[in-house]
Structure 1
Amino acid sequence: MRRARRTVTATLTLAVASTMLTGCFEEPSPHDAVRDFLVGWQSGDYGLAAGRADGDLATVRKALADAKLELDAASFRFRITSVTMTGEESKAGFHAEVDLGENNPLWEYDGVLPLHLVDGVWKVRWSPSVLHPQLKEGQRFAVDTDPTPRQPVLDRSGDSLQTDTVLYVAGVYPARLGGKAEEVVAQLSEATGYAQDRLLSRIRSSPPDKFVQLVTFGRSRYQSMQPKLDAIAGIEIEPQDQPVNPDAPRQIVGTVSALTPESEQKLGGPQRAGDSVGKSGLQQAYQEYLTGSTQTKVITLDLKTGEQVALLKEWPGRRNLSVKTTIDRTVQAAAERAVSLTDTSALVAVDRNTGEIRAVGTKNLHQEKQALAGKFPAGTAFSIVAADALLKSGVSPKQRLACPQERTVGGATFANSGGSAGTTQSATFREHFAKGCVTALASLARRVTADDLAKSAKAYGIGQPWRLPLKSFSGTLPELTGDADKAKAIAGQNVEVSPLSMALVAAAVASGTWHPPVLVTEPKSPDPAAEVVPTAQPAPVPVDPKVRSALTAMMRSGAVGTPAQAGKGKVYGVTATAGDEHTWFVGWQGDVAIAVLAKNHDAGAVAGSFFAALRSS
């Protein structure tokens, strides 16, 4: 894509340059010869250029065409810088811009065209130095590239979150092809779908004794392609170990594939055949950081020996970087173990003091699309946020409330289900919060304003513009227009959240400050090619100390006697219902805050398994 854009620009520049040069100069000065030679070279009309040189027409045409191939150039552009004339001799200076493609910078240099009169007509005095001052007879251009290997995605300790897998690189040594490069490329192009001209130009622009990577295959595709590749004389296969097989959390780390003809056209970045391409997760989100770019040198070679003669220009390429995440392998292993006991569930664990994501475990749910970015009914798990508003409005944890099986608030009917089956017997707000009594919680709608509920939701990050490098969802609280809407919000019936957003709510109560989530700590800036570009994160929000003290006690009551409290150490949290099939557990133990969403399974039991696994590790 980058190559195509530059080519169009060069074509437009050519039209301007041709008009400018034609308008400025007329015969019998040397200017027409300079103009025709450079315009012909730039536009690929090598016959026009050769006609203005004193060398053999076929030789000059071939030299100009070969220069483009040897440089694998997308375009040439020229600007005349000076013209001097002394009798029948002249000299024209020009500035060249050569687009080497592959997202490399323009190669710029200054050249000289010596001219003299031949039978009254100005001609460029032909020699290879016309193409570049340092190019001599018996030499050619070449582009020597050195691609850097893909860097890994790391956990918080700096260890790779991938294991090695073998990729198979098909390529050639140009010197071994014996003049059959076009035949080899035609067969490879037919077998793989890569553009024939691109493959050929890579071979012709490379040093003859250097392995030229042309196409990379994963194991399965290589096995299916092997008979065709083996039948192409001159193609050699180099297996390469690359750390691209993702460890847990696999969907967060993401997958990598070999570059395909389709992805090569789509990316338009620094990738060359032989590179790997992130297809999902952080591998895709940080593709340009992980792959970096290719070190490139423009050199001249001796045609007989193939040895380098001169270095004309060098670009080191952008340094590629590892991506360091906040994932903790120990916490991740505990999450994987806990969700494995269910049919469908998600568990997100964060550090209570920083909001850093320590683990994302799922069973039959997508780690990015559903654990981080899923939109699920909050159910009575949202009572944590609602309790913040209610406590600030003066509702005491000791206030006694009835918990009938059904109750109508503002015209909306609420009913208890499961473990929160109602009773007319009075109990405290703290007790009803712990058991998730929907009717008792809904009855408090008149004790709080819609604005109070919205402010508490915002303070706990619900609906706020925090973002991750991957897809994420912070939650939504609709506009509340009456007691019915407020009651539904307190019961979480009109609120949508993700497991990540609820884990952050638990962390806020546990630490006393809400923090936006963090998944990647290095590099600091987002990948320029990422589909999801994080915006500036909201500032941390402190929780009112008195409210936090009350909420902590309420959430301790919510965990006592439940499967979440299955071992040593204090667990804090609430087990909540969200519809007929889903349950939540939102809480913490120690420095790890979690949210669990489970289908047809007790989310508290998943939390208990997680905390037990974490303790035993």
Structure 2
Amino acid sequence: MGKRGRAAERGRTRPAVIGGLIAVVVAGGGFGAYSLFGPDGDGGSTTADPKPVKTGPLSAAEVRTAATRFLTAWQQGRPAKAAAVTDDTAAAKAALTGYREDARITGVTLTPGRRTGTTVPFSVRATVTHKGKSKPLAYDSKLTVVRRAEDGVPLVRWRPYVVHPDLRDGDRLVTGESGTPPVRALDADGGELTAAKYPSLGSVLDGLREKYGKKAGGRAGVELRVVRKAAKKGADKDPDKTLVALSEGTPGTVRTTLNPALQAVAEQQVAKRSRASAVVVRPSTGEILAVANSGHGFNTAFQGSLAPGSTMKIITSSLLIDKGLASAEKRHPCPKYVTYGGWKFQNDDKFQIKNGTFKASFARSCNTAFISQAKKLDADDLARQAQQVFGLGMDNWSIGVPSFDGSVPVQSAASLAASLIGQGGVRMNPLNMASVVATARTGTFHQPYLVSPSVDGRTLAKASRSLSPGTRAQLRELLRYTAAAGTAAEAMSGLGPDFGAKTGSAEVDGQKKPNGWFTAWKGDLAAAGVVQAGGHGGDSAGPVVAALLRAGS
């Protein structure tokens, strides 16, 4: 072998010796990633230029790779490795460890579906096992891949719903003897209420179990369930949710106020529309006769927190009449525009009513007729009226399951003006607005309830005062005229003469169409509904409410 050949052979087989240290030459050329010398060593500076941070949209390959690494490690039962592929390692590791140790879920098979952008859906098939009892578990979930800002690395964005779609922040999956026995919920006629028969009642039945399971005399079973995070002091905790029952408990029995015929109609009506919710109550007692949501997860009808739009004008009108700032038959300004607190307000389609009455402004839902009176009100007037007369905003309703009591915060300047027409900081749901129109009908607030207080001795909320006879009479006249000849007339056709209604449309940032609201009474029935992004309330929520009132007449 020649000198050149021997030198080449030596280059392939002998390690390089530098300053008495050995660095092994690796395949592909170059030295290993470890520095041979410190920054002050004899070898001088060996610091490489930092790699540029990758930015921009994620490629399909990056999304697939990150998703595959995460799902593979999770399926293998390696929570730490799976968590390392997320943007919140501690939270992901805790949840995935709990999935195996607390939820007792094994034999996990995760199958990714077709990627959409940076989101990858996947199916879960597994087994839940506890004390010799096993049941299969199957559900679908999804994950989203994001790019970490500091180094551009693609990671799974950690959210609790990745583990299970019913999980929210602070929730846990647990398998064991349930702390709460099951309940057999009955309607007002004694028939059994089930989510299979009435899909909207899933969350309601969960709430009834949480509240009355131990009081109703049942015995707990063994199950996999979602344990909700602890509630704030004084607030109702969202009910735990059973996912798999390994052994059935013995249910207790709880009777509700729900009317089976009205509940069936409510289910049918909301099913025709996307994001619709409705409630029916009995004004003379406060009994809840029906509740339904077209989405069967979150109970918007009881727990929603939405701007109620012009249905809020029922409360505002009672305030203006009480203060002598408006009267049904008296002249009242309704200009195209009014400015208050630096904001310029206008009516829908910029209409105006010249020399019209307050009744005419209410019936056509004239915004400026209400906002023009803002300068004559104190900042807390509207909030006090909502609390003292309509029983809202004090967090003290106890209907039998979790609910939101509405919110009318103290505001000033432009925010006060917006609140007068149901925007700004005002928040309501169909239960609140059904109660509002019921109070206008009877003159006295009766807290709505789903389970009679006699069942558990709880105290229902009360308002500190009723509507004065004069204000009640005028408010009823405003609502009757709106149902007969105003914006609610088409929906309420044929339901008179003992009726009243108010429409509403609430603008939502980033939403093309407003939320459509409608609330009305017919005899001893009061109902309210909202169709989110539905447009005008008379066209969207109006037919839902009117159908319920017809069914109950």
TM-score per shorter chain, which class?
0.5 to 0.7
Q: Which residue of 2 aligns with 1:271?
A: 220
Give the 3 Å change call, closer, same or farther, for CA 501–613 of structure 1 in structure 2: closer
1:254 and 2:205 equivalent?
Answer: yes
Partner of residue 308 from structure 2, selected from 369, 378, 402: 378
Matches within 5 A, 1:478-493: 478-482=409-413, 484-493=414-423
Matches within 5 A, 1:30-49: none
Letter in 1 for 2:462: A
Give the 3 Å change call, closer, same or farther, for CA 566–472 of structure 1 in structure 2: same
Q: Which residue of 2 aligns with 1:311?
A: none
Q: Which residue of 1 aligns with 2:185?
A: 153
Q: Which residue of 1 aligns with 2:506?
A: 578
SS at match of 2:188: coil
Matches within 5 A, 1:405-424: 405-417=336-348, 421-423=350-352
Q: Structure 1 residue 434: deviation in Å?
A: 1.5
Letter in 1 for 2:469: P
Q: Which residue of 2 aligns with 1:567?
A: 494
TM-score, normalised via structure 2 length: 0.55
Letter in 1 for 2:492: Q
Q: Which residue of 1 aligns with 2:526?
A: 593
Q: Is the 1:352–1:508 contact (alpha carbons within 8 Å) kept by the matching residues of 2?
A: yes
Give the RMSD, CA atoms, in angstroms.
3.8
Q: Which residue of 1 aligns with 2:255?
A: 324
Q: Structure 1 residue 613: deviation in Å?
A: 5.5
1:538 and 2:461 equivalent?
Answer: yes
Give the 3 Å change call, closer, same or farther, for CA 384–102 of structure 1 in structure 2: closer
SS at match of 1:450: coil
Q: Which residue of 1 aligns with 2:295?
A: 364
Q: Structure 1 residue 334: deviation in Å?
A: 2.3
Q: Tell me the alpha carbon deviations over residues 474-531 of structure 1, each in whole angstroms, 9 at most, x when there is no partner.
A: 121222234x3432221122211111111110111112211112011277239xxxxx
Q: Is the 2:277–2:430 contact (alpha carbons within 8 Å) kept by the matching residues of 1?
A: yes
Partner of residue 550 from structure 1, selected from 465, 471, 474: 474
Q: Structure 1 residue 340: deviation in Å?
A: 3.1
Q: Is the 2:353–2:361 contact (alpha carbons within 8 Å) kept by the matching residues of 1?
A: no
SS at match of 2:517: strand
Matches within 5 A, 1:156-175: 156-162=188-194
- Taking the aligned partners of 1:285 and 1:542, their CA distance within structure 2 comes to 38
Q: Is the 2:202–2:296 contact (alpha carbons within 8 Å) kept by the matching residues of 1?
A: no
Q: Which residue of 1 aligns with 2:49?
A: none
Q: Is the 1:337–1:610 contact (alpha carbons within 8 Å) kept by the matching residues of 2?
A: no
Identity %: 30
Give the 3 Å change call, closer, same or farther, for CA 367–559 of structure 1 in structure 2: farther
- Taking the aligned partners of 1:516 and 1:249, their CA distance within structure 2 comes to 22
Q: Structure 1 residue 538: deviation in Å?
A: 1.8
Give the 3 Å change call, closer, same or farther, for CA 577–284 of structure 1 in structure 2: closer
Q: Structure 1 residue 253: deviation in Å?
A: 4.0
TM-score, normalised via structure 1 length: 0.49
SS at match of 2:277: strand
User: Of Structure 1 and Structure 2, which has the larger fraction of its residues in helix?
Assistant: 1
Q: Structure 1 residue 603: deviation in Å?
A: 3.1
Partner of residue 604 from structure 1, selected from 533, 538, 545: 538
Give the 3 Å change call, closer, same or farther, for CA 613–491 of structure 1 in structure 2: closer
1:518 and 2:449 equivalent?
Answer: yes
SS at match of 2:333: strand
Q: Which residue of 1 aligns with 2:333?
A: 402
Q: Is the 1:393–1:447 contact (alpha carbons within 8 Å) kept by the matching residues of 2?
A: no
- Taking the aligned partners of 1:614 and 1:457, their CA distance within structure 2 comes to 25
Give the 3 Å change call, closer, same or farther, for CA 467–454 of structure 1 in structure 2: same
Structure 2 unaligned regions, length at least 5: 1-175, 208-217, 229-235, 243-247, 508-512
Once the two structures are overlaid, the 10-residue window that deviates more, 442-451 or 389-398, is 442-451
User: How many correspondences in the alignment?
Assistant: 343
- Taking the aligned partners of 1:353 and 1:375, their CA distance within structure 2 comes to 25
Q: Tell me the alpha carbon deviations over residues 211-270 of structure 1, each in whole angstroms, 9 at most, x when there is no partner.
A: xxxxxxxxxxxxxxxxxxxxxxxxxxxxxxxxx7453533344369xxxxxxxxxxxx96
Partner of residue 384 from structure 2, selected from 435, 439, 455: 455
Give the 3 Å change call, closer, same or farther, for CA 284–523 of structure 1 in structure 2: farther
SS at match of 2:491: coil
Q: Is the 1:468–1:517 contact (alpha carbons within 8 Å) kept by the matching residues of 2?
A: yes
Q: Is the 1:335–1:359 contact (alpha carbons within 8 Å) kept by the matching residues of 2?
A: yes
Q: Structure 1 residue 551: deviation in Å?
A: 0.2
